[in-house]
Amino acid sequence: MTAIDRPVFIVDGDAVSGALLLDLLDDAGYQAHWFKSGEDALAASRTDPPGLVVLEINLPGVSGYAVCRQLRDEFGPA
């Protein structure tokens, strides 16, 4: 499985930005999922690891930096 075969995760607490990115990626033919929190994205990554993550830094709860570190620790660099 290549990275393009896996979903794109959008992690953005802002409803307008998240919905816009989701629509753009869906229209471009990507399988995209939008999460409003880092915790939700991390939970989903355990069952369906992402090929790409578009990540906001200032998330509610766990910061984008912490999410990035945890994803790299669990799945390693691409």
- pTM greater than 0.85 (yes/no): yes
Q: Tell me which residue of 76, 52, 45, 74 sits closest to 4, measured CA to CA.
A: 52
Q: Which two tokens stand for residue 53?
A: 């993550």
The answer to whether residue 2 sits within a structural domain is: no
* Number of domains observed in the structure of the chain: 1
Residue-number span of the structural domain to which 45 is assigned: 8-56
Contact 54, 10 (CB under 8 A): yes
Does a structural domain hold residue 35? yes
2 CA to centre of own chain: 17
The mean pLDDT value of the chain amounts to: 91
Q: Which of 29, 54, 25, 28 is nearest to 41 (CA)?
A: 54
| 52 within domain boundaries | yes
For the stretch 36-58, pLDDT in tens is 999 999 999 999 999 999 999 99
**Position 71 in a domain:** no
Domain-located, residue 50: yes
Structural domain includes residue 29: yes
Residues 6+ apart with CB under 8 A from 17: 56
Q: Return the structure tokens found at 46.
A: 């355990």
